[in-house]
Chain A
Amino acid sequence: MESRLTRILLGAWVVGVLAFLFIPIGIILLYAFNASNVQSWPIPGFSLKWFPETFANREVRMALWLSVKAGVIATILSVCLGTMAAFAVHRFRFYGREALSFIVVLPIALPGIITGMALNSFFVFWHLPLSFWTIVIGHTTFCIVIVYNNVLARLRRVSASLSEASMDLGANAWTTFRRVTFPSISTALIAGGLLAFALSFDEVIVTTFTAGAQNTLPLWIFGAIRLGQKLPEVNVIVLVVTAVTFVPILLAYRMTARASQD
């Protein structure tokens, strides 16, 4: 048992680390309600005036729409591919199974800048114009990992005897998948999908290399901050992005937590 003093010191350390991580985020969120367009602390007054102004900006609206579209499509693709990969690795013993598992997980371990450069040079080499679809492909590479890991973890926890019981009771392979296997992994699918969307929605590095003329929301923010323009609007957007990514992560967390209680 550690002494009282150590416990207090450790507690203070934890509080310090959490404060270091979250206070800047809190301040940015607070700036969204700043009445002045100069970022200074403390803020002179509260106002909602930046919200309508931000949403009136056509560039912002287009970037938001592009981000949502890319996120949704990348999520759908990665849910399909990631689930199939998870099933293959879980269900079958085949040559190259370990290698496949490694290759699927690799994009999350690789620095985004390398994935981005590699994809970019691939597209350029094959004379594929950078477009909406190259963004989607870039995002899908690392979104697959999230779905794959989630589904694989669930499959490992679901007892193999469940599908055996279903077949034993006269259900063929398809009915077994539809009525037993799918329902028991569905929350993992949704959780994986939500996390994948959150990941895609705020991605900057890979997107930088795979986007053409288009701006996703994070790219627009990055550009705006670099040029030091429209900072009040950036703050509003950061608030929105935080909300949009935080909610799915919270939902995903609760879903996996509930599933592990059963």
Chain B
Amino acid sequence: MLTKTASHEADRDRTEAADTLLEVEGLAKSFKGTVALHSVDLSIRRGEFFTLLGPSGSGKTTTLRLIAGFERPDSGSVRLDGRDVARLAPFKRDVNTVFQDYALFPHMSVAENIAYGLEAKRVAREERGKRVAEALRMVQLERFADRSPSALSGGQRQRVGLARAIVNRPRLLLLDEPLGALDLKLRQEMQLELKHIQEEIGITFLYVTHDQEEALSMSDRIAVFNDGRIEQIGSPSEVYEKPKSEFVAGFVGTSSLVERGGDRLVLRPEKVHIARSAEAFTGEGWHVETGRIAESVYLGLYTRHIVRLDAGETVVSVEQNAEGPASTLAAARGQPVTVAWRKANVFALPGERQTMEKQT
């Protein structure tokens, strides 16, 4: 029985190893004495949409640049399909990058830009033409092949940037805040399109962004960066529902932190319910408290209430306007309310308690 389980696990390990495309270990980098990256470990599976999420200066872009080869690490390894490429020049790595500022060659046409990588790799002319046409079709820019990049809009330029990278069929595509320079509407369109293209061509995407909504909506897994370290790696729902640190809880979505019975609880607004009386929360599993409305903001889809608990903290609660605005509490400032959450839906931060245990 024991041996069987062991061999089972070994089997799983082996398939996982075969499934791993990129393995980053102990990656560290300083710039002029300032540590940009402490020691980062990452493992990305083949075909995955993996996102590095964090505020600016958190080390996510440095990680991407180290994987692309634009910087050399102080220590650590970057294994692509088992081979350490950390000290190879960018042109010796089978990865391609989509840049935030597009980085299109201004003196070349759209088609010439896209063909550049194929020419550098000495792909035969006929094959080159076919693949450029295919890439143009994929980003819907067939009509723009002979235009100059300066004649294109921001969204179109970034499509060219994408086509120029994927035409080489890299093992790994790096995207450095590719939608950062676009306005909101276009960004949302491009998010969908990027996701579709990724599914169509099956290339592994490593995506860098500071936009948590973008990360949640597109990724298979997310690594949350803070201050040169990874705070948590997990699926969008894991990162949102079970944040491992106060930073993650605050950076991904909004949350209120309250301490109850020695636990630090992450209260997401949609999980905090409010009502005029405690009768609404009869039954098992509710945690019920009282408080007063500090502020209510009607936002169309929902109403956001900020409630000051009698215990002292402030929590945020959202109420869907399913029955129209009249059904909301439409509460005046200072109105007493009952606040409740299901204990099962609320996640306690690891941390405080664990560190205390460690100390004792």
- Taking beta carbons and an 8 Å cutoff, which residues of A are in contact with B? 159, 161-162, 164-172, 175, 179-180, 183-184, 262
Contacts and interface: CB of A to CB of B under 8 A. Distances in A.
A159 B103 CA distance: 7
B114 to A, nearest CB: 10
Contacts of A159: 101, 103
A67 B96 CA distance: 52
Of A162, A167, A168, A172, the most chain B CB neighbours within 10 A belong to A168
B91 A171 contact: yes
Contacts of A172: 89, 91
Contact of A262 (B96, B106, B120, B121): B106
The 5 closest A-B pairs by CB, nearest first: A169-B117, A161-B103, A170-B120, A165-B103, A167-B90
A31 B116 CA distance: 57
A183 B89 CA distance: 23
SS class, residues of chain A in contact with chain B: helix
Contact of A167 (B91, B101, B104, B106): B91
B89 A184 contact: no
A163 to B, nearest CB: 9
A259 to B, nearest CB: 10
Contact of B96 (A161, A169, A171, A184): A169
A262 B150 contact: yes
B105 A162 contact: yes
A166 B69 CA distance: 12
A170 B117 contact: yes
A154 to B, nearest CB: 12
A173 to B, nearest CB: 8
Contacts of A184: 106-107
Given A175-B120, A262-B150, A168 B105 contact: no
Nearest to B176: A161
B106 A169 contact: no
10 contacts: A162-B105, A164-B90, A164-B99, A165-B97, A165-B105, A169-B120, A169-B165, A170-B121, A175-B120, A179-B116
Interface of B: 68-70, 89-91, 95-97, 99, 101, 103-107, 116-117, 120-121, 150, 164-165, 168
A169 B116 contact: yes
Contacts of B70: 164, 167-168
Contact of B90 (A168, A179, A180, A262): A168
A122 B120 CA distance: 50
Contacts of A170: 91, 117, 120-121, 168
A171 to B, nearest CB: 4
A171 B90 CA distance: 9
A63 to B, nearest CB: 40
Contact of A161 (B99, B117, B165): B99
A168 B91 contact: yes
A164 B101 CA distance: 12
Given A169-B165, A170-B121, 19 more contacts: A159-B101, A159-B103, A161-B103, A164-B68, A165-B97, A165-B99, A167-B69, A167-B91, A168-B97, A169-B91, A170-B91, A170-B117, A170-B168, A172-B89, A172-B91, A179-B116, A183-B105, A184-B106, A262-B106
B95, B116, B150, B165, most chain A CB atoms within 10 A: B116
A191 B118 CA distance: 33
Contact of A180 (B69, B97, B101, B105): B105
Most buried by A among B68, B70, B90, B106: B90
B96 A168 contact: yes
B101 A161 contact: yes
Nearest to A167: B90
Nearest to B89: A167
B321 to A, nearest CB: 45
A81 B104 CA distance: 29
A161 B89 CA distance: 15
A166 B116 contact: yes
Contacts of A164: 68, 70, 90, 97, 99, 103
A172 B93 CA distance: 12
B47 to A, nearest CB: 21
Contacts of B107: 183-184
